[in-house]
């Protein structure tokens, strides 16, 4: 019996609908996709795309009606993407699906709709009252983020022994590391150079020691600027970055099309594509959309 996956369609003005339609035949061979959209909105999208709806394209949920404005930031499209995700979560909570896969939202559209969350992970964290961990990557390399969508100037002050220790313990419990060492990136250039360029690494070292005693896992503190070089990267599958761009800039340079987003440390399974709404190519007949991230996200949700 194939697993059931709830798919939230993301921002209706982006490429989510096209990704779902164009890849339905392929993913329906490995799972039972349930699309969180209604027929009226789907028809509006397909009219703009000139794509037919597959016969076994299962829809779920009721939504406030919205028009399609290709490539535009709109309040209504933000509200739809929020409602679509919320319905997918409810299906997972009610055990009607085995996992959730999300297509891209637009954070500005959410803001225009009065939604106070900055993204999917923030919303999941609030709903489940759990420290959801954002991990991105592919089978070659995964990067978990200690801090996510916060200003760079706040990263150092957010680093605490208690929080980082819990982050490392929760992260380790959520992955299948097979006791391979986990790379933990320093915050400062040269990992602080023993205090010459900053002393935050003292907190990181203490957190590593505490987590290591409690989990039995091995963690290696790495100098950030060499962590993703070939001769270092080959020794690790999992990396923990202190802030967003520290981990995601090298990841996307190496594996942009294949990379996915996975929410860890939650009672439900959720994966996502690791790209945005691509407003610049949405609903354009000549566009060519890579499906690698979406297919990988579905595979990870199944696994």
Three-state DSSP state, 226: coil
The verdict on 140 and 119 lying in the same domain is: no
- Of the chain, the percentage scoring pLDDT greater than 70 comes to 99
DSSP H or E run through 122: helix 120-128
- Comparing 289 with 144, the larger pLDDT belongs to 144
- Comparing 146 with 118, the larger pLDDT belongs to 146
The verdict on 114 and 141 lying in the same domain is: no
The verdict on 286 and 258 lying in the same domain is: no
Please state the domain count of the chain: 2
d(CA 190, CA 197): 8
d(CA 8, CA 19): 12
The verdict on 244 and 192 lying in the same domain is: yes
| 99: β partners | 5
Residue-wise pLDDT for 5-33, tens only, equals 999 999 999 999 999 999 999 999 999 99
Question: Which pLDDT score, from 0 to 100, does residue 286 have?
Answer: 63
Residue-wise pLDDT for 39-64, tens only, equals 999 999 999 898 899 989 999 999 99
Rounded-to-10 torsion of CA 119, 123, 125, 126: 140
Taking the model in full, what pTM does it have? 0.91
The domain containing residue 63 runs over which residues?
Answer: 1-130+266-303
- Comparing 287 with 271, the larger pLDDT belongs to 271
Question: Which pLDDT score, from 0 to 100, does residue 287 have?
Answer: 67
The verdict on 81 and 99 lying in the same domain is: yes
Please report which confidence band the pLDDT of residue 303 belongs to, taking 50, 70 and 90 as the band edges: confident
């Amino acid at each position: 019996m194939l697993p059931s996956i709830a798919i939230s369609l993301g921002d209706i003005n982006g490429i989510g609908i096209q990704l779902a339609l164009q890849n339905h035949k392929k993913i329906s061979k490995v799972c039972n996709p349930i699309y969180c959209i209604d027929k009226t909105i789907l028809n509006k999208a397909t009219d703009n795309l000139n794509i037919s709806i597959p016969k076994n394209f299962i829809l779920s949920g009721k939504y406030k009606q919205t028009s399609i404005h290709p490539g535009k930031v709109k309040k209504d499209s933000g509200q739809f993407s929020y409602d679509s995700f919320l319905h997918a979560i409810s299906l997972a909570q009610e055990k009607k699906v085995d996992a959730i896969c999300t297509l891209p939202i637009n954070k500005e559209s959410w803001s225009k709709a009065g939604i106070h969350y900055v993204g999917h992970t923030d919303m999941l964290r609030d709903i489940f009252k759990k420290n959801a961990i954002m991990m991105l990557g592919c089978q070659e390399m995964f990067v978990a983020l200690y801090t996510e969508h916060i200003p760079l100037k706040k990263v150092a002050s957010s680093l605490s022994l208690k929080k980082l220790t819990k982050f490392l313990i929760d992260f380790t419990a959520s992955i299948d590391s097979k006791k391979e060492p986990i790379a933990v990136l320093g915050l400062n250039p040269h990992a602080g150079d023993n205090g010459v360029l900053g002393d935050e690494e003292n907190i990181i070292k203490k957190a590593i020691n505490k987590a290591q005693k409690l989990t039995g896992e091995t963690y290696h503190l790495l100098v950030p600027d060499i962590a993703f070089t070939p001769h270092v990267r080959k020794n690790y599958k999992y990396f923990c970055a202190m802030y967003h761009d520290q981990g995601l800039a090298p990841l996307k340079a190496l594996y942009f099309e294949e990379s996915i987003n996975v929410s860890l440390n939650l009672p439900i399974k959720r994966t996502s594509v690791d790209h945005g709404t691509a407003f610049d190519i949405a609903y354009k007949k000549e566009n060519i959309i890579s499906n690698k991230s979406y297919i990988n996200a579905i595979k990870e949700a199944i696994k």
